[in-house]
Structure 1
Amino acid sequence: MPPLPAPPCTTADVCTTTRSAIVAGTVTGHHLLDVEGYSRTKELFPNGTYTNSLPFTVGGRSWHISFYPNGRNPGSADFVSIFLGLEIDQICAEPVAARVQFSLIDRARKPVPSHSRATELHALFHSTDGFAFGFPQFIKRADLENSEHLKDDRFTIRCDITIAKKLRKERRRALSRFVDVPPSDLHQHLGELLASKEGADVTFHVTGETFQAHRGVLASRSPVFRAELFGPMTEGGAAAVVEIDDMDGQAFRALLGFVYTDALPEDMTPEEEAVMCQHLLVAADRYGMERLKLVCEDRLCRHVTVGSAATILALAEQHRCHGLKEACFQFLESPAVLNAVAAAEGFEHLARSCPSLVKDLIFKITDC
């Protein structure tokens, strides 16, 4: 929030403005608990028994998550129970005021709203009495087992912790603000220019669809467009016509949208986003648009599944996407997941087209 301007001084007064602040800060952090071999955990831990995560640190204190695959007590025998506690060796002179949220994570690595549970701020955490806070009935086992979030006998729970810091007071320099500068709206104006086609001087024919755009904007965003539209073989003032027969119209529309607004479409489902980002990654590499390529690479890291891993890994190798390649390797570390991917459509093509990549994958998993 911007500081409020000081009240005006009269000509007869000497105006002195001072400022102080009361600061009620917080420390936040989160931990991801992956449960692999869920069916086996149900056999190993009957009702009332649990296993702990490895310890992790938030707010200078060491915590753990307790996982009860068959519930914490008889009343929660049909549920998965989840609790957060302090490590036993933590010495707390004062209770820890913390807000805790547990969330089931979907395949796009986002919390599932219907399976997210949170506390309010409470000073309830003591290491001396072994107290832990959580939810005996976090999620019904039948709901988990029938959902898409349990994939290949594995799922992920995210624990977000917010810890209240001690209240402090501090002196601040009083600043006056006379002008509020709004955030940049350049992308909005350029998006409107693309939509209006006003002044457009280049036409693209893309597999039966026609698009109009502005050579200057395209050239400023892509060295390939610059060479194609302003190269020595083009006529300076003539409207250019470009034929593109290896990209579908929907992908090219998204490509143009990114050129003008630096953003991807917002109304895509996760499945549509996964497909679109594969097409756009290829286009970004072709047109030398490094930022778009990185945006697609980042989003595809969230869409690596048994059905898509082979295709995405091949894309990562062919277009030199090192981060995406590592994300695929990490997904394939589990032997059960690797076997499922090897049996899925697309793996044979990967083995034929990128044999060295499959060899690297085997060596990496063997080392793990």
Structure 2
Amino acid sequence: MPASSPAAADGAPWRSASAIVADAVSGYHVLKVVGYSRTKDVANGMAIKSRPFLVGGCKWHVEYMPNGDNEKSIDFISLFLFLDDNVEEAVKASAKFSLLDQDGKLVPSYTYNTVPINFSEKRNWGYSKFIKREVLEKSEHLKDDSFTVRFDVTVMKDIHTQGTPIIVVPPSDMHRHFGDLLLSKEGADVKFQVRKKTISVHRSVLAARSPVFKKMLLGPMKEGTTTSVIPIDDMEAEVFRALLTFMYTDELPDKKEQEESEMVQHLLVAADRYNLERLKLICEDKLCKHIDTGSAAAILALAEKHSCHGLKEACFDFLSASTALKAVMENVGFEYLTKNCPTVLKELVSKGISG
């Protein structure tokens, strides 16, 4: 009989996890060399020590050798990290040596990482050829005869295993619950008459999503009681339902590409009317993908009327191609644009866009 995984009382399998944890303590020391040109008088193989600093319960210092630590590195700056403490057991640590720019950021080409090293008494680790003096002196990293190096030290501690239960948190499904509320109409307390359709909704949801609906439904002159119906005469029922879907679920209903373009134009108008800024921006973004010779004039007029600056600029970009503009001018929508949005034509001319 095959082995089975242990299960909780409700039949669901237990979930657990373990981790191998390598504890470490990190710290860093910043060394600024002021008066660099004078430090070059220090002989090859001789060092200038930094002040001591503590990381991981150990005392460290850095040694700066402006003329290298040996004859082979005489043209370079050498840098070494030293463990100062007398320790019974080796201290395992890694380090990163980094030249800093004038903004205090690491210079990638002069950032070096060591592998973990077992330091013992007076044990050191570093770079004989950290940077060539000639390179440093010609770089922007030496300013006012000063430069800075950062030393990041990580001291390794005990390695141990930890076990923890895994709690699986599902993604938010709030939108689904509110969508179900809209479909079921349970608890609905206000009705809208859109063309020939009566649509029941929850005034608190609409008021929470739109300041216009809030004023309409919860303000001093609030409309709609359980016995009255609020008429909406300038919108199709399908558009109003799509608007409600967004207000309840923060999502738009799926549409075919051609249907989407027309629906989104109507939704943009509704979003502007009811002050739904996020929906308005979503509509702008979607319409930017539907600009062509057949729709450019209508979308540009829409963008102008409803102050959609991003969408308007996208139309201008499309019309900047002379062939596109000529094709749009032959479209019936351009006549509407000419009569109703004369300022747009002036902008086209000012941008050097003309047929």
Normalised to the residue count of structure 1, the TM-score between the two structures is 0.52
In the alignment, structure 1 residue 187 sits paired with structure 2 residue 199: no
Residue number among 300, 308, 315 corresponding to 1:313 in the alignment: 300
| Alpha-carbon spacing, 1:338–1:182, altered in 2? closer, same or farther (3 Å) | same
Counterpart residue number, 2:197: 209
| Pairwise CA distance, 1:210 | 1.0
Look up the match of 1:258: 246
1:6 to 11, 14, 17: 17
**3-state DSSP of counterpart to 1:246:** coil
Secondary structure of the equivalent of 1:346? helix
Q: Distance in 1 between matches of 2:307 and 2:269?
A: 11
1:191–1:257 contact (8 Å) kept in structure 2 = yes
Q: Which residue of 1 aligns with 2:58?
A: none
Could you tell me how far apart the structure 1 residues matched to 2:338 and 2:223 are? 46
Aligned residue type for 2:345:
V
Structure 1: state its 5+ residue gaps.
Answer: 8-15, 20-170
| Change in CA separation of 1:240 and 1:219 when aligned onto 2, cut-off 3 Å | farther
How far, CA to CA, are the matches of 1:213 and 1:344 in structure 2? 41
Distance (whole Å) between structure 1 residues aligned to residue 163 and residue 341 of structure 2: 61
Is the 8 Å Cα contact of residues 230 and 236 (structure 1) preserved in structure 2?
A: no
Identity %: 55
Is the 8 Å Cα contact of residues 229 and 240 (structure 1) preserved in structure 2? no
Structure 1 pair 286–235 and aligned structure 2 pair: CA distance change class (3 A): closer
Q: Residue 5 and residue 217 in structure 1: after superposition, are their counterparts in 2 closer, same or farther (change >3 A)? A: same
Per the alignment, residue 288 of structure 1 pairs with: 275
Tell me the CA shift for residue 233 of structure 1: 2.0
Instruction: Say which of 273, 280, 287 aligns to 1:300.
Output: 287
* Alpha-carbon distance between aligned partners in 1 of 2:302 and 2:289, rounded to the nearest angstrom: 15
Structure 2: where are the runs of 5+ without partners? 1-14, 23-158
In the alignment, the residues of structure 2 paired with residue 272 and residue 364 of structure 1 have an alpha-carbon distance, to the nearest angstrom, of 32
1:200 counterpart = 2:192: no
The TM-score normalised by the length of structure 2 is 0.54
Quick one: which of 238, 242, 255 aligns to 2:230? 242
Equivalent residues in 2 for 1:155-166, closer than 5 Å: none
**Cα gap change, 1:174/1:288 in structure 2, threshold over 3 Å: closer, same or farther?**
farther
Deviates more, 1:233-242 or 1:194-203: 233-242
Note the C-alpha offset of 1:237: 6.5
> Aligned pairs, how many?
204
Among candidates 230, 233, 239, match of residue 218 of structure 2: 230
Q: How far 1:17 moved relative to its partner? A: 2.0
Counterpart in the other structure of 1:17: 20
Shift of 1:239: 4.9
Determine helix, strand or coil for the equivalent of 1:6.
strand
CA deviation string 1:260-288 (max 9, x = no partner):
0111112x111100000000000000001
One-letter identity of the residue aligned with 1:217? V
Contact 2:216 2:223 in 1 (8 A): no
Q: Deviations over 1:70-108 (max 9, x none)?
A: xxxxxxxxxxxxxxxxxxxxxxxxxxxxxxxxxxxxxxx
Pairing of 1:8-157 with structure 2 (within 5 A): 17-18=20-21
* Distance in structure 1 (CA, Å) of the matches to 2:163 and 2:309: 46
